[in-house]
């Protein structure tokens, strides 16, 4: 699946391995990701595309704030908690 702006992704490498993020930008093989807590929208983390995997969920990034971002990720984690533990 293609990673586009608004895609929910899971980090597969690095210190944030296994964490969920939202892609807020894509440029030349790099994806800029945020989670609203450790990586805020004002300063997204730059990740190589091959170090993340899409979760097949896309959200609207229009009017997105750090608080809304935390809430969306939290809701997704509680809604599909069984699937996340199996995938990790």
Chain centroid to Cα 64, Å, comes to: 13
pLDDT in tens, the chain (88 residues): 789 999 999 999 999 999 999 999 999 989 999 999 999 999 999 999 999 999 988 988 899 999 999 999 998 888 765 454 444 3
Q: What are the b/e assignments for 42-77, b being 16+ CB within 10 Å? A: eebbebeeeebebbeebbebeebeeeebeebbeebe
User: How many alpha carbons lie under 13 Å from residue 1 in its C-beta half-sphere?
Assistant: 13
Task: Determine the pLDDT at residue 37.
Answer: 93
pTM for the full predicted model: 0.84
């Amino acid at each position: 699946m293609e990673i586009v702006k608004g895609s929910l992704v899971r980090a597969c490498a690095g210190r944030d391995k296994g964490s969920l993020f939202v892609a807020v930008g894509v440029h030349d093989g790099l994806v800029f990701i945020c989670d609203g807590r450790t990586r805020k929208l004002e300063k997204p983390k730059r990740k190589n595309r091959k170090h993340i995997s899409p979760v097949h969920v896309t959200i609207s990034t229009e009017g997105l704030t750090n608080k809304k971002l935390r809430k969306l990720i939290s809701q997704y984690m509680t809604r599909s908690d069984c699937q996340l533990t199996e995938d990790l």
